Structure 1
Amino acid sequence: MKLKKIASLALAGIMAVSMLAGCKDGGNSNSGSSSENTNTVTGYSDVLADAVNDAVKDKDFVTFQDNNADQTALQNSLNYLATNDIADVVRDHRTPAVVENVWADGWKQVRNYISNELKLANKNLNEGDMDLDWYTTNDKVNSDVKCGVIYAVDGSVGINETIKQVASTLDDYLDDLDESVTTTNDHLVWEYEYVVSVSVAERSVGDDSVNVVLVTVDRTVTNG
């Protein structure tokens, strides 16, 4: 009898754990169905969040979060880079270099691929667009907008250190992000939230390698 009682208690315990697990998921068979929109956590967005200045950190309408689509687009785009494209970066850049003005075919293809895949508003990935100022002063004022910029650095340079250097160049742009804008003619107030995402990928050809950092700012209109 004692053994049967122990077995019954054990079975009851297993059933209780199963029921609790079901409650935790809310009984929702779609749990995890939002995986398309969840982010692969690399931690690089957190590194940037820690490295930006206090003025940016104090903006509660700006968050930092990894983005899976960004990471995939960046990784795929680097297949366009050939030996010469990488060698130029390895030779000249041990600090992050903005590649918006690098017109070698490989880098042009990288920019085109990323901007098309992510539907970026700044097609050439100009760093100067990262404050999204232009998109608050014209007919884009009431639109969701995403902009991006890419930096390249010798593959031997540490990623975290590279991102910290990127932060120092982006501080002023991110600090200029507007929480709200009032239009001049009709005096409508448009409010925004922003998500800043960092992706990193490496491309190696022969003995040379390059690390490429993609930073995007995704603006969502929250009220207007």
Structure 2
Amino acid sequence: ASLMLAGVMAVSMLAGCSTANNNNSNDGGENNNVVTPTSIVTAVNNGQSATNKVKINFTSDATLDAALSKAVKAIGENADAAGLNVQMARLTGNDGWGSWKFLGNERGLTPADTSKDDGRVVEGMMAMPLMNAMADKAAAEKTVAKIVNEMVAKLDDTTLTTSTNYNDKYCDFSYTGTVSMVSSTANDGTVNYYFAVVITQTTAVKTLKPAA
């Protein structure tokens, strides 16, 4: 995993742990920055590697756009990933932090314990400021696409392997995703970018049957 993604996930974990103590609205401290939604879906979809096990068709989401815009207004001009994630959790009710909660082969699922996972839905959300690091919108899009691709690359599409026996149960995973990016123009004219991504995994338990 890249150092960038590792750092993002570490910050997200800290933010998740802090949510319980940050439920009070910070709206009173909002700055006067101009926050503008900006297209990111195409860049993220095109940025996924063909070698990934999973391909997610990310879409836009007006609710996510609105929450991200409001969260950016709430944290002001601070390069505060933890604060941004806390605000997003407060505004969306989503406290799923990062992709390590997703099911997959690394969890060591066995035929005996997969049945309880049928229909299980796991949702992960992460938000990040790209403060003073992006020269322009194109650079911001490229960075977001890279980060999201690294997240998707860790996902499994199935627990079925060559060692799965007939009549054993296994899990197939399907995914949906939404992504949002906004730009914020500070009072001094500086433009910064922020993004949020939500990935939802749904599990289907199946039984390996001999070929007809």
TM-score, with length taken from structure 1: 0.55
Instruction: Show structure 2 runs of 5+ residues with no match.
Output: 1-36, 207-212
Q: Which residue of 1 aligns with 2:84?
A: 110
Instruction: Show structure 1 runs of 5+ residues with no match.
Output: 1-40, 90-101
Equivalent position to 1:121, from 74, 93, 96:
96
- Which amino acid in structure 1 is aligned with residue 45 of structure 2? A
- Equivalences for 1:32-181 in 2 at 5 Å? 43-56=39-52, 59=54, 62-83=56-77, 85=78, 89=79, 102=80, 107-116=81-90, 117-122=92-97, 126=98, 129=99, 132-133=102-103, 137=107, 141-142=117-118, 143-153=120-130, 154=132, 157-181=135-159
CA distance in 1, matches of 2:104, 2:205: 19
Give the CA deviation at 1:222.
Answer: 4.4
After superposition, the C-alpha distances for 1:127-178 in whole angstroms (9 at most, x for unaligned) are: xx36835897389955211112223223863223222223333433312211
CA distance in 1, matches of 2:171, 2:104: 15
- Relative contact order (alpha carbons < 8 A, sep ≥ 6): 1 or 2 greater? 2
Larger Rg: 1
Moved over 6 A (4+): none
CA distance in 2, matches of 1:135, 1:76: 37
TM-score, with length taken from structure 2: 0.58
The share of aligned pairs that are identical, in percent, is 12
SS in 2 for 1:71: helix
Pick the structure with more helix per residue. Answer: 1
Give the CA deviation at 1:220.
Answer: 2.3
Q: Which residue of 1 aligns with 2:175?
A: 194
Q: Tell whether the 8 Å contact from 1:44 to 1:160 is kept in structure 2 after alignment.
A: no
- Number of aligned residue pairs: give it: 155
